[in-house]
Structure 1
Amino acid sequence: MGRIAQGTGVSAGIAFGTALVLPPPSDIDANQRIKPADVANQQSAFNSACQSLISQLTPLLEQFEESSPQGQLIEAELMLLEDEEFTDAVHQAISTLRLPAHLAVDRIVQQHADELEALEDEYLAARAKDILSLGQRLVRQLRGEQLPDLNALERDTILIARDMTPAEFAALPMKSIKGLVLIEGGLTSHTAILARAAGIPALLSCRIEPGEVSSGDSVILNANEQTLHISPSANTISELKKSLAQFQARQDALAELIDRECVTRDGTPVPLLANVGCKADIDQLLALNGAGVGLLRTELMLLNAEQLPDEEEQYKAYLDCLLQLDGKPFTVRTMDIGADKVVAALKLPKEPNPALGLRGIRYSYTHPDLFRSQLRALLRVANHGPVRLMFPMINQVEELDWVLTELESCRQLLLQNEQGYGEIALGIVVETPAAALNLESMLPELDFISIGTNDLTQYTMAADRMQPEITRAFPTLSPPLLRLIKHCIDAAHQYGLPVSMCGELAGNPQATALLLGLGLDEFSLSPSGLLEVKAKVLETDMEAAGLIAEKALKCRRLDELKACIAPVNSTSD
């Protein structure tokens, strides 16, 4: 009889195949020591192992754009392997503690990972796992442990491993690897980011007991239901084949919508823009005929950078994106540093509660030079086409006053330097109840607003959005959030300003009709969800959507709200 393991789905799809289980590294004898005469040989073996991994990673890096998630994460691994502080620490552990090279690597990598995890930061915790996984790869190399040659696979394979570095994932032969299951890892891990980008079904944090699945077992990965079926029965295989056929038919049907104009049934145009972090995301947006960029996360260019990009580097990066869009809207958020966004090139202070600390515009206020270089770069880019600029975590009109003063100073400096600049449409990201309640004082200075529902939910409900068990109890689609969203939309419309939404709620097709009924003008979402939301727009009648919104705003309970929007979502699911 088949068995089922549960995990966390990070990308949609169903995959059938044969399991290939990558064994974890064998146990290490922590008491092993070397003779003084062997120190040099062990240090040389470590150097050779690092160079071997570097030689494997460098060709992979050339396959991807530097700004792509794959390129950034492979570059991060290369940086660690070439980092003098890391190599010196391993050399010292070999010479002073008389550790064999593999033990020295294991110890130093574990210390480094422990230091990151001790900072109690979600992003750094994910980086700690990446570093541990890379360390295991080095240990294998030093101990001569060989993994299966994945390039020799000849049948559809579901790869199962304890964990995997981003570079290991980037090297997978996707012609044979149809799905990925990791026993460790989470939604914020870099391998999860790459799995979503690759579009293969994947489960992370999968609860598989030792010996529960072996290489050669027949398995089915149902990422849509967050399950791994091990040695499934004939009935399970038949049912999941039907589910796969339905899923593929849905994807084919959605693909037919790419060239259709995005309008409601009664002819109301609805721009669907994308949240992007690199040029590869913009390529995907354009392939899906999206309306433009509703959020460029500019801080992503900093995450793995050894040093901060100067004005000229930023100018070239933003200009490439603008030209790539060929006149479509280009909305840029200034660097949203802090909280879950940790930047290697910056020495961010350790804070007891980062989500309530120095983040967003607050960081820019205390580090104005970085902010000014970004403003100057964007003003220069606006000389070549339309740019919309929005500022994160603005809560008070005094903060907006400071931003506008800095922007004018940057204009004057560009004039003095005889550099051209263009006009920029200005907006803020509404992420807190304070921003929503202070909106009327700021709207006269703005051209648009964008509602960031992820943080708006977090700060309204006092619910950490990085903890799945908390977010399940405090979902974004809730009565208090709807009232705040409606308040923001009505206030902006009184000033004739358009309202966009760039949070995850914008990509939830179950909420599309409701948001249209509330008066939302634009949606900005992950490119991967664009066609599902477009399908909902095409079948929505604005009058009916208005009635749904009116009824939803009167709901007081989560179950009432769910029941309220259920009828409009039952027609095409």
Structure 2
Amino acid sequence: MRGALGGPRVLLRRLREVMAEPVSAQDRLDKIVVLIAANMVAEVCSVYVLRVDGTLELYATEGLNSTAVHKTVLRADEGLVGLVASEANPINLSDAQNHPAFSYRAETGEEIYHSFLGVPILRAGNTLGVLVVQNRARRTYTEEEEEALQTTAMVLAEMIASGELSAIAQPGAEPAARRPLHLTGTILNDGIAHGHVVLHEPRVVITNFIADDVPKELKRLEAAIETMRSDLDVLLERGELADGGEHREVLEAYRMFAYDRGWVHRLEEAVATGLTAEAAVERVQSDTRARMLRATDPYLRERLHDLDELANRLMHQLLGQDYAPARDRLPENAIIVARTMGPAALLEYDRKRLRGLVLEEGGPNSHVAIVARALGIAAIGRIDNATGVADPGDAIIVDGSSGDVHVRPSPDMERAYVERVRLRARRQSQFQALRETPCITRDGEKIALMINAGLAVDLPHIQETGACGIGLFRTELQFMVAASFPRSAEQFALYRAVLDAAGDKPVTFRTLDIGGDKVLPFMRNFEEENPALGWRAIRLGLDRPGLLRSQIRALLRAA
């Protein structure tokens, strides 16, 4: 592509200047479409923005009738623009009017234009709008032009996602990028939480999209990929992963993608259009995510998670940021949103500030769900694309009684849930008042009410509830949340802490009960026809007497 302004790199530099100008949102959009049209030698350039009602509104144009701006509104599946938005794929046609999806709108005056190139405006795989160029002559746009338009759309995506366009939107027709969302998943733990989103693996915030020196950016990309590959190789060579298991299989998948030449080539092509290395990673992954989110094959969707993880690692490497999230700096009323999470990771967060948990994966019997119940936080799993639709700091409501998650809730919704939280708090106060009431039946029989426990975080519940003791301490939970097999000294320390917390109250310990649905991350799992009655619990202990003896010794020492 070589137009009046000298190609895509010059266009990106000019776009950066326009984005920095102190002008209104409409003036900025109007300047952007003029720049794109001139650079691509296009007679038309238009921006359509997806609204909260699911329609696409013409927000700016160069070439179509200016009176159509904010007047032309298309259904999400209407016309070629709707097709681009719904499929999240570019459409490149030399004679658009002969396409079966073509929809004529008289107010735009587009009937004189034949060639059409439309690309989705994507962010984190979500469609925010459509960017279109058109010409009178029948022509097919080149791959370079299509690539350049997609790169430009990425810059527009950040403008839309920032909320800047809300100032020029009609009430009730705001851009969908910041719309309230109602999502439904699987209940992991009861409770209601109202707070703000904290991403367990925070997305990198890219502030510089446009490269000043493309060869330098290519070298940065190459160096970051090599470092990331080396880090993965080192992780896989560690002793604790040598015997296989789930953790090793996950890292093997990451390494396979990291060495995939096709993936690296797409990154290099994106940098060649004028993007910085980190913007190129974001661009390639957003395109990949958009396609794979629409796939019905569960295997492909699972691979999307691997690619998300890999892209996130690479962007952290490029920007020199620690990949591990800062869990000791949680805001008040934090609600963690993650694709998946191990139980140990959840325990690392500040319990006093943690209010809820939302996962894309995870079922009621998962290890992290067990920990969420121990922490007493509202938790919901199997929320599709949760990490893609929620931004850090967004208001969020987690309803563990119904499985509903509300992202960026409306003021009315927030008020309704604030009242529900108050009602639950009052109910808890009523229960608290009964804490010291003797447990005696009407005919005078005393009943000993005890708690179930399994982790150190459960121990304060003895005093909080006024329980008579611990009716069942599930020792397997210590093993399930650990990254490696707990040594005898670690087991002794936990059992001693349990007995100290219980004081003179009785405690019943259950020996290691694993197998079936309770899988240890560092232990190989075996397929059985009936795992619930198979090699598990005491059968496993008797078959591995060293393991059972080690635990019994720790219990006896603690007693």
Both proteins in one fold, TM over 0.5: no
The higher relative CO (CA closer than 8 Å, separation ≥ 6) is in 1
Which TM-score applies when normalising by structure 2?
0.44
Between structure 1 and structure 2, the one with the greater Rg is 2
